[in-house]
Structure formats: C-alpha cells, structure tokens
Amino acid sequence: MKMLKIAWAVVGSASFVSISAAFSGVLPIGYSFAMFGIGAGSLLAAAAPSRLRSKSQAMGEVDALPGIPTQTQAQEKPRQEKTRSLDRQKVMNKYDRAFAHLLSRTSEQTKAESLERLRLILYELSPELKAWTGDARLRAHLLMQEIVKGLDDPSTARASMGLLVLILSQGGRSASEMARPVFREKILEMYGRPAYESERFLPRILLMLDDYDPQMVEKLAKEAIHEWGDDRFSAARDFLGFEELKEMGPVRQQVKVLLGTEIAKAGDALDRAALERAVELYHEVK
C-alpha cells in the first residue's frame, strides 16, 4: 500500500512537470507527454500486480469478455436444459400411467376419479399443450376419444367436461379445431337436455369450440338472459369466459352493445329478472 502511494505521488509530480514544461515552451508538447506516458507506465507497473490480485475475485473469470458467456455459464446451460427435459419426461410418464389407469377402469366411479387425476396432471403439462407439440397433440387426441365416451353418463360428464375445458383453454385454436368435429354435435345435444342444466362448463364449451364466434356469443347471451332456468344461470354465469372477450376488441364491443340493448329493453318492459341477468353479463364483459 505504501509502495502504491509513492507511485501515485511520483506520477502526479511527473504529470505536473511534463505539462508545465510543455506550456512554458521548454519541451515540445508531443515529446513531453510521451515522456510522461513512459514514466507513468514504468512506475505503475510495480504497483499494478498487487491491485489486480486484490480485485481478481470481484472481476470474475480472467480474460472473460463483456457480453460473452463464461466457461461456467456455458457449462451450466446444457445442464439446465437437461434438467428441464428430465422434468418434462417425468410428467409425461406420470400422464401415461394415469391414462392407462383410466383405460383399465370399469366402474363409472373409478373412471370419474381417473379423469380427475388426469386433469391435475394436465395442469403440469399446460406449457406443452400451449406449444401444441407433436407428442402432446397425440396424447390430447387420444384423451378426447375417451372424454367423449364419458359425456353420456352424468356421473362422469362433469369430470369429462372439466378436462375438455382445460384442453381447449390451454391448447388454443389448434385444440378447438381438433375437438370441434369430435364434440360439437354432442355438446349441442347435451345443451338442450334438462338433465345437464346444472353443468357449469357446458355453455362455455359451446363458445370455445366455435372460438367465440360473434353469432354464437350473441345467441347464447340472449338465451342466458331470457330462456335459461335459474339453475343453469346460477351454475354457468361465472364460467362463460366472457372475460376472454377483452382480448377480442371488435367482438367485445359488439357484445357490450348487445347487452346494453337488452338492459334497456328489460328496463322498459319492467322485466326485473332479465334486467338483472343482462347487467351481470355486462359486468363480465366490461
């Protein structure tokens, strides 16, 4: 440390002498500053090693360039990718075991339990469904074939529809395109049957299968206001997915205008039930 102070003191003196000499005309400017550079370099050379040693740990790896991954970082990336791959494979294996368990069940009760177990595992596979990769797509297709079988029995219909909603919401348009020919006619049939009025996801599935087509949204909204029984409205009103219309500007605005018109009509007709329902749906869209 003492050596370093001495070095900096001499450097300061050399700087002063060199600059003074240059401005007084004793030495040419270029020559005097060149001498200063040589002198400073020689004096600092003695003190530099100790300072570099003290800062080596703070600076990181020797010879590492800014913005360029260090050797440690380069080694860490493949390790992280391998870990993600192993985790993904574990979830896939868990899903395959649960799906095999579903296929082996005979009673409706155990099938409903197996469907619920698969729903929980699908939450873990959500990124795969969103990316809609080949192996996830194949698994979803096979699962759809089993789900449609479970829709005929009220004891497994709710679990089946819960799974279908998850696939449609996470798989996006690709999922709806695959599911539409498998489920649409069946879901329409169920929608018209009183036995399924308490199924909360049934109307939403209709909308999702049609990618929230404006005509279907308008039709279902009017039916919800004027035709649904109290049981269906109470069960399904919070699960229609109208909040998703916020991402669909023109459709959202169209539905808001529709519901505003229904509110006005119900007010003029003193139809309190229709008015309350229209207001509730309007708040879902807003």
Q: How many CB atoms lie within 10 A of CB 223?
A: 14
Give CA separation, 71 vs 53, 58, 74, 77, in Å: 21, 17, 5, 10
What percent of the chain is predicted at pLDDT more than 90? 32
Give burial (CB, 10 Å; 0-12/13-18/19+) of 160: buried
Q: Express each pLDDT in 111-123 by its tens digit.
A: 888 888 888 888 7
Residue 243's closest CA among 191, 202, 207?
A: 207
Residue 149's closest CA among 105, 193, 119, 192?
A: 105
Are 99 and 142 within 8 A, CB to CB?
yes
Instruction: Considering only CA atoms, give the Rg of the chain.
Output: 36
pTM over 0.85: no
Q: Which residue has the tokens 């390790």?
A: 79
Q: Express each pLDDT in 81-98 by its tens digit.
A: 666 666 778 878 888 898
What are the domain boundaries of the chain?
2-46, 86-206, 212-286
Are 280 and 272 within 8 A, CB to CB?
no
Residue 21 reports pLDDT greater than 50: no
